[in-house]
Amino acid sequence: MRLAVIPARGGSKRIPRKNVRQFNGRPILAYAIDAARATGLFDHILVSTDDEEIAHLAKLAGAEVPFFRPSELSDDHTPTVPVIAHAVATCLSYGWEVQEACCIYPAAPLIDPDDIARAYHLLTQGGSAYVFPVSPFPSTIQRALKLAPDGTAQPFFESFVKVRSQDLEAGYFDAGQFYWGTRQAWLDGLTIHSNAKALVLPPWRVVDIDTSEDWERAEKLFQVIRSGADR
């Protein structure tokens, strides 16, 4: 059995009520549910939440809310792995024979169902406990700069100052869309980034929505991508 778990708590701080805010005319949470359904991979698509409104909207969008997340797993400091482990363990207690579970973040409207499917096939090939999408940094991380209070710039890594950018190894960042994992990986609390294979996505399909500016950029990208798909 394959499980999709969308962790959507009600207490987001940087963008209040982020998980139910309207994105291009729909609650942003709905896009994660749509993507999970479109894969055809999941026996159950559920939302792990502590919030009544989120639960209501999740059900309207086609997800299940078979339980409410406990308060100790619903604060600003709770990492992802314990939340998904709780969902997996709870579903196992219902008699659901969960083998793999995919955490799909609720505020990732650019998520592509094909990416979820490709990542699942990577997971089934073995060799890692998790699979998740990454995207390349737009410039070399070894040439990163830091700014002093007086506005002057200094390199983070002096040893790379004279190295040509084309001679430096590419760096990647977590796309912040989803994580596939085996049942045991979640239950054992394995860290994701050090126990995973990565699926590389193009930068134009990745936005980490943490600020109002991120939100506006994501909406514009979404509209461009959708207009291209409709042609």
CATH number, domain with residue 61: 3.90.550.10
The residue-averaged pLDDT of 18-42 equals 96
In a domain, 143, yes or no: no
In a domain, 162, yes or no: no
The residue-averaged pLDDT of 15-43 equals 96
In a domain, 20, yes or no: yes
CA distances from 141 to 55, 62, 89, 169, 210 (A): 40, 41, 39, 9, 21
Percent of the chain with pLDDT over 90: 91
Q: Which pLDDT band, with edges at 50, 70 and 90, does 14 fall under?
A: confident
The residue-averaged pLDDT of 3-32 equals 93
Instruction: Yes or no: say if 23 and 62 are a contact pair by the CB < 8 Å rule.
Output: no
Number of domains, the chain: 1
List the domain range (segments joined by +) for residue 54: 2-135+172-229
Q: Tell me the pTM.
A: 0.94
For residues 33 and 106, give the distance between their C-alpha atoms in angstroms, rounded to a whole number. 8
The residue-averaged pLDDT of 60-80 equals 95
In a domain, 153, yes or no: no
For residues 2 and 94, give the distance between their C-alpha atoms in angstroms, rounded to a whole number. 14
In a domain, 66, yes or no: yes
Q: Give me the helix-helix angle, 29-39 and 113-124, nearest 10°.
A: 50
In a domain, 144, yes or no: no
Q: Which pLDDT band, with edges at 50, 70 and 90, does 227 fall under?
A: confident
For residues 206 and 166, give the distance between their C-alpha atoms in angstroms, rounded to a whole number. 23
For residues 108 and 31, give the distance between their C-alpha atoms in angstroms, rounded to a whole number. 7
Q: Is the pLDDT of residue 76 over 90?
A: no
158-212 per-position pLDDT tens digit: 999 999 999 999 999 999 999 999 999 999 999 999 999 999 999 999 999 999 9
Output the pLDDT for position 58: 97
| Position with higher pLDDT, 227 vs 149 | 149
In a domain, 146, yes or no: no
The mean pLDDT of the chain is 95
Reduced to 3 states (helix: H, G, I; strand: E, B; else coil), residue 161 is: coil
In a domain, 6, yes or no: yes
Output the pLDDT for position 11: 79
Environment class of 181 (CB within 10 Å of its CB; exposed 0-12, middle 13-18, buried 19+): buried
Instruction: Yes or no: say if 178 and 116 are a contact pair by the CB < 8 Å rule.
Output: yes
Q: Is the pLDDT of residue 228 over 80?
A: no
